[in-house]
Amino acid sequence: MKPNAPSLPNSTAGEGESPNPTLDRNSQAPFDPAAYRHALGSFLTGVTVVAARDAEGAPRGFTANSFTSVSLDPPLILVCIGDHAHSYDVFASCESFAVSVLAAAQRETSNLFASKAPDKFEQADWREGVAGAPIIDDALGWFDCTIHDRVIAGDHLILIGRVEAFGEGEAAPLGFHRGGYVALSDAADARRGGDALRVGAIVEQQGAVLLVEEDGQLSLPSADRLGRDGEDDPGSLIGLLAALGAATALGPLFSAYEQAGIQHLFYRCEAPQEATGRFIAFDQIDWDRITDPAERSMLKRYAGERESLGFGIYLGGAEQGEIHHSRPGEENGRKA
């Protein structure tokens, strides 16, 4: 049964001042749903398919970007389903469900599960999880869950799942931003051949960061192409990290900004203990020797955010942009 959906309160922003006066708790301006949806679209997310079995055992599912991790111990995740969804009743009563994180090549799968097609699972490749919930083939990651709790929140139902099994692949992620799909790693790889791209890494090893020293100046390792796993050409980022004695897999995107017509993408990653490169402890960095102001500002942000274990993603220009955090309403307009 669908609950009666109470109307959306005037503001769901957290404590503190909002940069947008129409969302300010104290503002007299009328609530503007279109502006609110637009502001929500500023948050870069991944894309998932959430799936379960209905009472007759038929697979049902929908595309969702409201997925997030809730707890590590016990392992809990959540996803929200709107009361407009045809499959709402299925998720309001199921005992288990699965979340498949879509890869960049799965836009069509996202569109299929965002549709009202009655035969979504006949058009997709999938398999069964441990409790029977469908998991999409070739997903970048998957989480097979039993229901931990359900909470009605406005016009959505929050499904909190306890993760019983999970897995991940190696593909590039599918992203969603401002109402459209984005494929960030694809963007990095597609720019091979000296196009205006700089791709770099903040490689941490036990409180120290990998820096490159040249003519007394320090910089983060970067190259004009990403490269492939196992590559040793230092003209690529992967090859450069290997040459610097810090071969490692790239982690999440940390900053994407344009500077002098060149798109810069910097990723976070951790170096294995045996890595031998020039690692400098964060509290011993001579910041003046990092001569690129965008890199200096980015690394200072990293040094601050690692203390709070709350990394954001910077999107914008070298001077001005926005930092997207998993908690809304934080840190707009700071430097890269």
Binding site for ligand FMN (CB under 6 A): 47, 62-66, 80-82, 85-87, 110, 114-116, 176
- 238 is written with which tokens? 């992967």
Tokens 């020293």 sit at which residue?
Answer: 213
Q: Which is nearer to ligand FMN, 82 or 132 (CB)?
A: 82
Q: Which is nearer to ligand FMN, 7 or 308 (CB)?
A: 7
Number of other residues whose CB lies within 10 A of the CB of residue 129: 24
Q: How far is the CB of 86 from ligand FMN (least distance, A)?
A: 3
Q: Assess contact for 127 and 136: CB atoms under 8 A.
A: no
Choose among 217, 197, 202: nearest CA to 260: 197
- 269 is written with which tokens? 């990653």
Q: Assess contact for 200 and 221: CB atoms under 8 A.
A: yes
Q: Which is nearer to ligand FMN, 81 or 294 (CB)?
A: 81
Q: How far is the CB of 112 from ligand FMN (least distance, A)?
A: 10
Q: How far is the CB of 15 from ligand FMN (least distance, A)?
A: 25
Q: Which is nearer to ligand FMN, 115 or 123 (CB)?
A: 115
Q: Which is nearer to ligand FMN, 30 or 33 (CB)?
A: 33
Could you tell me the CA-to-CA distances from 28 to 13, 21, 210 in Å, in that order? 15, 9, 50
Q: Assess contact for 23 and 14: CB atoms under 8 A.
A: no
Q: How far is the CB of 135 from ligand FMN (least distance, A)?
A: 17
Q: How far is the CB of 48 from ligand FMN (least distance, A)?
A: 8
Q: Which is nearer to ligand FMN, 80 or 140 (CB)?
A: 80
CA 97 vs. chain centroid, Å, equals 21
Q: How far is the CB of 326 from ligand FMN (least distance, A)?
A: 15
Partner residues linked to 62 by β-bridges? 50
H/E stretch holding 90 reads: helix 88-93
Number of other residues whose CB lies within 10 A of the CB of residue 312: 19
